[in-house]
Structure 1
Amino acid sequence: MDAILADMFPPSRLGYPVIFARFVGAIILGAVIGFERESKNRPAGLKTHIMVALAAAVFAVVALESIYIRGLSDDNVQVDPLRVIEAVTAGVAFLAAGTIVLSRGEIHGITTGTSLWLAGAAGVSLGFGQWIIGFGAVLAGIAILFCLGFAENRLGRANSVVVDDANAPKGDLPKAD
């Protein structure tokens, strides 16, 4: 039983209170971005942004902790936590691409896709313990979303981008058989 408990609660270099604080910070940052998207009824809202930020933080913390795992910390093994940034970026980009839709000659969802990317970046920042970078980035992102959103509304601009209308499909896309 002691072996199982030791496996479930291994020693942590960061300390579990620090790890959980980083997770809570990532949840808060994801919620801030997600709330803005949710308030505009976008396809990825509060829960999605929170989950992206939290998952990114988990990957970053696991990467940091893996440096000190017995068997991975000897000289013959190279652990590179920065590869986590590449993996999180690729994974979040895949999710973000799913929010972008071409419909009736207009592209929708690009801003939501980029906000997911920002949530992932904020989560990685918190996971690596870079609180000021994470909070600063989210603060800047929210300022951009609100200020430019306000400016677009004042100018009467739509929330989509018109593409080459002559070649754009009309109506709904055909259904697969």
Structure 2
Amino acid sequence: MIDYLDVLARLVIALIFGGIIGLDRNLHGKQTGMKTLGLVALGAALVTMASMEFVTAPGSYSREALSRAVQGVITGIGFLGAGVIVLDRNSSKVRGLTTAASIWVTACIGIVCGMGGWRIAAMALVLVLALFVLGHPLERHLHNRWMRKTDNERDELTRHED
């Protein structure tokens, strides 16, 4: 028997978690936003639950079907993520990798929500948001520190050559 309330809870939580990740991306001026990543997580949860035949009781579904559904979601999301990765010809830099990775991890969170693993999905959501908040300042700090070290080494080599 299908527990429609549990099904609805899994789908809503996936949608909310995807939307939260999308909100962060949108606030940082990225191509994807709440709607896009909310849909990614919702769709991943829906496919996962469909492979479980919408039965929420553990062990009441085919593990092989679940595995195939997860593999299909991950493959399909790879194509969606590839669509946001571009090469900026002016600077020769690749852009969109973080957005593509956020699409991928949002699908993974949706899969976990579809399986009913809300606590695990919530932990992953917190880690994603922590990485978004702390990642750039940490990268900048380490880059500046590394560049200072490189500049100091270069200066020292120059002094020894003189």
Above 0.5 in TM-score?
Answer: yes
TM-score (norm 2): 0.77
2:48 pairs with 1:63: no
Q: 2:23 maps to which residue?
A: 35
Q: 2:73 maps to which residue?
A: 88
SS at structure 1 position matched to 2:53: helix
RMSD: 2.4
TM-score (norm 1): 0.71
Q: 2:132 maps to which residue?
A: 145
The residue type paired with residue 6 of structure 2 is V
Shift of residue 154 of structure 1?
5.5
Q: 2:157 maps to which residue?
A: none
Residues 47-126 of structure 1 aligned to structure 2 (within 5 Å) = 47-65=35-53, 80-104=65-89, 105-126=92-113
SS at structure 2 position matched to 1:107: strand
Shift of residue 156 of structure 1?
7.8
CA contact (8 A) 1:56 1:120 kept: yes
Q: Which of 9, 19, 34 pairs up with 1:46?
A: 34
Shift of residue 100 of structure 1?
0.4
2:133 pairs with 1:133: no
The residue type paired with residue 54 of structure 1 is L
**Identity across the alignment (%):** 32
Counterpart CA distance in 2 for 1:41 and 1:88 is 26
Counterpart CA distance in 2 for 1:117 and 1:36 is 15
Counterpart CA distance in 1 for 2:102 and 2:63 is 33
Where do 4+ consecutive residues of structure 1 move more than 6 Å?
none
Q: 1:24 maps to which residue?
A: 12
SS at structure 1 position matched to 2:65: coil
Q: Which moved more, 1:57-66 or 1:26-35?
A: 57-66
- Structure 1 or 2: more helix by fraction: 2
When residues 154 and 98 of structure 1 are mapped into structure 2, their CA distance, relative to the original with a 3 A threshold, is: same
Deviations 1:39-65 (A, max 9, x none): 011111111100000000000111111
Counterpart CA distance in 2 for 1:123 and 1:156 is 34
The residue type paired with residue 99 of structure 2 is T
Q: Unaligned stretches of 5+ in structure 2? A: 56-60, 145-162
CA contact (8 A) 2:7 2:54 kept: no
